Amino acid sequence: MGKSIAKTNNETIGLIYGFIGVIGFSGTLPATRIAVTNFDPIFVGLGRALVAGVFAMLLLRLTRQPIPHRQYWGSLGIIVAGVIIGFPLLSAWAMEQLPASHGAIVTGILPLVTAIVASFRIGEKPSIGFWMASFIGSMTIVSFALIEGNGSIKFADFILILAVIAAAFGYAEGGKLAKTLGGWQVICWALVFSIPILIIPVSLVVLENGIGASFNAWLAFGYVSIISMFLAFFAWYRGLAIGGIARVSQVQLLQPFFSVLFSALLLKEQITFLMVCTGVIVVISVGIGRRQPIKIT
């Protein structure tokens, strides 16, 4: 019984950390939408990691963190490809074409994809009830995208789906590695490892287009650099490590709802009745999925 209580406590603590991370992530697409009105998508998508990388280096230096053993470099590479390069760059391109509120709903399938990746990459085996709840929430989101697109999915939606797949691998790998290195250490080392890869393309874009932009664009870029790309991952990876990747990832089904609110507040995008209904169904699916068992093999 003691183990059962401890497991429940860990899941609850993990969900709390995950929720904090989701709040930080929720402003990402609206802020990206603002930033790409003045900046090149490559600068927004990759430049954010360079800024975050500077803070990561300082933090690792101040806390005297040892360089991760070579056996972890492959996992760090997956994280770099998924959440530092893949998702930020692809979502920045998509946000040139789509309203942030629409993009937020489409990326709502991320928890389902993350759970799928965790099932074969990490060895987590959710129950049928869990899969059904996650599937219902995700398909509700896909249905919303189809209705909003008048029966078709736009090319930018496919870009977002690729971004989701990239993020899912980065989340699952990061949650796994955080159990060994620690949540904030994982994202910090991944950012540091990415600097040599990112500095050339970002520098070329800056030389070609300059960095002149409005105050709002710079503020939005600061948000995606410091919050989305850095601090939110501290809580997110810790939550995944403590509470389990598949279970905690389902908290992100709530992210579209918060992102839509941010879009309405920051971009004056309209909140429709369909968005509200979609959000309600998603919240219910999260509540049901929270109660379903998950085995670790």
Question: Are the C-beta atoms of 234 and 183 separated by less than 8 Å?
Answer: yes
User: What is the sign, positive or negative, of the torsion defined by CA atoms of 15, 21, 27, 32?
Assistant: negative
Closest CA to 30 of 170, 221, 214, 175: 221
Instruction: Give tens-digit pLDDT for 13-50.
Output: 888 999 999 999 988 888 988 998 899 989 998 999 99
Instruction: Give tens-digit pLDDT for 67-100.
Output: 999 999 999 999 999 999 998 889 888 888 877 7
Q: Which amino acid is at 110?
A: L
Q: What is the pLDDT confidence band of residue 294, given thresholds at 50, 70 and 90?
A: low
pLDDT for position 297: 57
Provide mean pLDDT across the span 165-189: 91
Which token pair is 285? 């699916």
Q: Where are the domains of the chain?
A: 2-296
Global confidence as pTM: 0.83
Instruction: Give tens-digit pLDDT for 224-256.
Output: 999 999 999 999 999 988 988 878 887 887 787
Which token pair is 23? 């709040």
